[in-house]
Structure 1
Amino acid sequence: MALRRALHFVFKVGDRTRTATFYRDVLGMKILRHEEFEEGCKATCNGPYDGKWSKTMVGFGPEEDHFVAELTYNYGVGEYRLGNDFLGLTLQSSQAVSNAKRLNWPLTQVGDSLYMTEAPGGYRFFLIDKEQPSCDPVQKVSLAVSDLQRSIHYWSALLGMKVIEKNEDKKIALMGFSDNQCKLELQDIGGDVEHATAFGRIAFACPRDQLPDIEAIMKKEKHKILTPLVSLDTPGKATVEVVILADPDGHEICFVGDEAFRQLSAMDPQGNELLDKAMAADKSDEWFAKRNKQKASA
């Protein structure tokens, strides 16, 4: 399954301005593209919301060879409740550690050359205090599972990932489609996985002709399909086809046709400017403040 590749993780954000500061100024990522939408996504890309929302892709380099973050912002929603499902994203960058210290962004040392910090909303990031590699600095996304063996079977036997490392004592497995991509780390927490309203989604690309096969094997094995194969339109850009799954613990997984996605995900040199413009035009915080109200909590 070497043709399959890890793309991004979706984070719901309530404070877009502070979130942009974290990714740009603390982590040192770039705004790769930014899009505004007037209504909800057919594949619930922004969660179960029908109103206006935005999508911002941020990363250390182009989406074709870097694992990035997708930041979805629903206008009018100020915060989301965290579950125990997302355990962290790990990246290697001494510059990010230095940035956090310089900006007084909360940072906790949790091991040799390893620091933990949080993005707005409470999402955990682990920073390895070593020189940022020339390839992708993002090393792994860690998710909680309730039965490690069951999850390994799902991700390997059904989705084609290989087990790269496994630690029986710590109940952790590191998996991936190839050695030079961001990995997926599954950690058995010994109990139920709760997603709450901040639940995310991990995305992968595969050749378009594999999408019906992925859908078919999930039907055959009686695993959950959240969104059957569907086409998603982005005005002025390529139309992509996706199928959205849920693993045994309810983690959302998006598979997208690689050929069209490479066109859709081309870096937009105006991305940074478009995000800043959208944040400047967003008066929702002022609107709520004037009325002594708070934005909705999802």
Structure 2
Amino acid sequence: MALRRALHFVFKVGDRSKTATFYRDVLGMKILRHEEFEEGCKATCNGPYDGKWSKTMVGFGPEDDHFVAELTYNYGVGEYRLGNDFLGLTLQSSQAVSNAKRLGWPLTEVGEALYLVEAPGGYRFYLVDKEQPHNDPVQKVCLAVSDLQKSTHYWSSLLGMKVMERNEEKKTVLMGFTDTQLPDLEALMTKENYKILTPLVSLDTPGKATVEVVILADPDGHEICFVGDEAFRQLSQMDPSGNALLDKAMAEDKSDEWFAKHNKQKASA
């Protein structure tokens, strides 16, 4: 049985050009793969849209052993309203801090050797100003919940995460994944009467592996997508042409010209 782990966090983005600059030039991530789709995903991977969209995976290393960001871009959608659920992603990289300072990207010191920087659209990233480790520098993702006890039960007892740290004063819980098979997970959620947004379904990617996914919603409506291990390992192989494919798509999109003309910045949420 494969060990379950957190793979991605999805960000819907409007301005692909500024977003690419942030992840590549400020954070120092690599474009791992880029895919263009002519119609909406049947598992609503791109949200409630049915038009052309793209998916770009960015991270510090291969998806096999790194937590990465999935950047979803819907053509024709320039702005998303930022919610209050995502509180921030923390990573350790003094190089990212230096990059932000060199590029003049707004940077706020919020603690000892800790800086806050925002991606286009307002997504928050916390940079630990220490040498970037050889393994994955991404340390944690923070989500807001309305009932900590209920959410902890859901994520630990039902999803199988392990409680690694609990802080009663700050009302926070830090958790990491263990393992469970997808059909068993779906059956458990059905039994416990929790919402299943997308029952077990197979998703095709042209020229690549077909993966099985189940998409759930936690008590606060956070979407959690679980994917089968074996096919995902095939699908998630790093594509050397990913960087060029993204640049080509952005050049052909010409959305930068529209936003420059209208003096408007795209946002994401």
TM over 0.5: yes
In structure 1, the residue matched to 2:116 is 116
The SS at the match of 2:185 is: helix
Does 2:190 align with 1:219? yes
| 1:164–1:175 Cα contact (<8 Å) kept | yes
In structure 2, the residue matched to 1:70 is 70
The SS at the match of 2:51 is: coil
Relative to structure 1, is the Cα distance of residues 139 and 2 closer, same or farther in structure 2, using a 3 angstrom cutoff? farther
| 1:2–1:177 Cα contact (<8 Å) kept | no
In structure 1, the residue matched to 2:18 is 18
Identical residues among aligned pairs (%): 85
Relative to structure 1, is the Cα distance of residues 96 and 296 closer, same or farther in structure 2, using a 3 angstrom cutoff? closer
What is the CA-CA distance between 1:284 and the residue it aligns to? 3.6
The SS at the match of 2:234 is: helix
In structure 2, the residue matched to 1:54 is 54
In structure 2, the residue matched to 1:102 is 102
| 2:121–2:267 Cα contact (<8 Å) kept | no
| 1:77–1:295 Cα contact (<8 Å) kept | no
| 2:121–2:266 Cα contact (<8 Å) kept | no
In structure 2, the residue matched to 1:235 is 206
| 2:122–2:267 Cα contact (<8 Å) kept | no
The SS at the match of 2:57 is: strand
Measure, in 1, the Cα distance between the counterparts of 2:130 and 2:47. Answer: 35
The match for 1:248 among 219, 225, 240 is: 219
Relative to structure 1, is the Cα distance of residues 25 and 163 closer, same or farther in structure 2, using a 3 angstrom cutoff? same
1:142-291 mapped onto 2 (5 Å cutoff): 142-177=142-177, 210-286=181-257
In structure 2, the residue matched to 1:201 is none
Q: Partner letter of residue 211 of structure 2? A: V
In structure 1, the residue matched to 2:35 is 35
What is the CA-CA distance between 1:79 and the residue it aligns to? 1.1
The SS at the match of 1:5 is: coil
What is the CA-CA distance between 1:39 and the residue it aligns to? 0.5
| 1:159–1:214 Cα contact (<8 Å) kept | yes
The SS at the match of 1:6 is: coil
What is the CA-CA distance between 1:83 and the residue it aligns to? 1.0
- 1:264-285 deviation per Cα after TM superposition (whole angstroms, max 9, x unaligned): 0000000001001111111244
What is the CA-CA distance between 1:296 and the residue it aligns to? 9.3
- 1:72-118 deviation per Cα after TM superposition (whole angstroms, max 9, x unaligned): 00111111101110000000000000000000000000000000010
Let me know the Cα RMSD of the aligned residues. 1.9
Measure, in 2, the Cα distance between the counterparts of 1:245 and 1:22. Answer: 30
Measure, in 1, the Cα distance between the counterparts of 2:2 and 2:152. Answer: 18
The SS at the match of 2:33 is: strand
Gaps of 5+ in 1: 179-205
The SS at the match of 2:78 is: strand
| 1:16–1:279 Cα contact (<8 Å) kept | yes
Measure, in 1, the Cα distance between the counterparts of 2:154 and 2:212. Answer: 22
| 1:86–1:143 Cα contact (<8 Å) kept | yes
The SS at the match of 1:100 is: helix
The SS at the match of 2:164 is: strand
The SS at the match of 1:236 is: coil
Measure, in 1, the Cα distance between the counterparts of 2:226 and 2:137. Answer: 23
Measure, in 2, the Cα distance between the counterparts of 1:238 and 1:9. Answer: 21
In structure 2, the residue matched to 1:128 is 128
Q: Could you list the runs of 4 or more consecutive aligned residues of structure 1 that deviate by over 4 angstroms after TM superposition?
A: 287-290, 292-298
What is the CA-CA distance between 1:286 and the residue it aligns to? 3.4
Gaps of 5+ in 2: none
| 2:164–2:174 Cα contact (<8 Å) kept | yes
